[in-house]
Each structure stands twice: as structure tokens, then as C-alpha cells.
Amino acid sequence: MKVRASIKSLAAQRGAKVVRRRGRTFVINPSNPRMKARQG
């Protein structure tokens, strides 16, 4: 899990989903589970 100021590059990858949980923005990628990120 990476914590980033901007998660646009990870969100642009194939299979990535942007999810909002508890006031934070997460990027999760079921096809590549290592590509996770959190913003905020």
C-alpha cells in the first residue's frame, strides 16, 4: 500500500478501481493486487 498525494497514475492502470472509504480515497486493483494506494 502506497500513500500518495496523487493516485492518478495508479488509477489509470488496467483493472484499477477508485474507492472512497471513511473519507479516504483508495485505489484497488483486483487483477494486480500489489497495486494498492491511499490518498488522504
Q: Which domain holds residue 27?
A: 2-39
Q: In the chain, how many domains are there?
A: 1
Q: Which of 6, 15, 13 is nearest to 38 (CA)?
A: 6
30, pLDDT greater than 90:
yes
pLDDT of 25 reads 96
Q: Coil, strand or helix: which one is 10?
A: helix
Chain-centre distance for alpha carbon 6: 10
Q: Is 7 left (phi over 0), alpha (psi -120 to 50) or beta?
A: alpha
pTM over 0.75: yes
Could you report the per-residue pLDDT of 1-27, keeping only the tens digit for each? 889 999 999 999 999 999 999 999 999
What are the cell numbers at 29? 486493483
CA–CA gap between residue 34 and residue 25 (Å, rounded) = 17
28, pLDDT greater than 90:
yes
